[in-house]
């Protein structure tokens, strides 16, 4: 028997990934949409990294997701890897 399909919002998926990161102590990666991914970590502070395989994510998306997650004070930055440029969003310690 095939389990029923479960529909969740993007916010619910990201919140669940943060919970898994806390529980496992490991970075989580989820696909948010066509060619848009988030890498989620709680090491030191809550943070996420947005990347695309083609192009770069918009800063507005980083702001919107941080606000939806309830980040009070956070910083945006850019990380240039070997092949991808990623938007980083990190919540500042209280």
Domain boundary assignment for the chain: 10-91
Q: Pairing mode, if any, of strands 85-91 and 47-51?
A: antiparallel
The pLDDT of residue 85 is 93
Q: What is the pTM of this model?
A: 0.86
pLDDT, one tens digit for every residue, the chain (94 residues): 888 888 889 899 999 999 999 999 999 999 998 899 999 999 889 999 999 999 999 999 999 999 999 999 999 999 998 889 999 999 998 7
Q: Name the one residue in this structure whose structure tokens are 């389990």.
A: 3
4 SS3 class = coil
CB contact at 8 A, 47 and 90: yes
Give the pLDDT score at 19: 95
Beta-strand (E) ranges in 1-94?
Answer: 28-33, 36-41, 47-51, 74-80, 85-91
pLDDT of res. 16? 94
pLDDT score, position 1: 86
Residue 68: count other Cβ atoms within 10 Å of its Cβ.
13
Give the C-alpha separation, 63 to 80, whole Å: 19
At residue 71, the pLDDT reads: 94
19 SS3 class: helix
């Amino acid at each position: 028997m095939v389990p029923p399909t479960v529909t969740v919002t993007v916010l619910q998926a990201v919140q669940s990934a943060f919970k898994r990161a806390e529980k496992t102590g490991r970075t989580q990666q989820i696909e948010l949409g066509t060619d848009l991914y988030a890498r989620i970590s709680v090491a030191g502070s809550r943070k996420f990294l947005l990347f695309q395989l083609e192009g770069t994510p918009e800063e507005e998306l980083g702001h919107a997701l941080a606000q939806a997650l309830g980040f009070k004070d956070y910083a945006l930055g850019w990380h240039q890897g070997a092949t991808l440029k990623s938007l980083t969003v990190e919540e500042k310690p209280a």
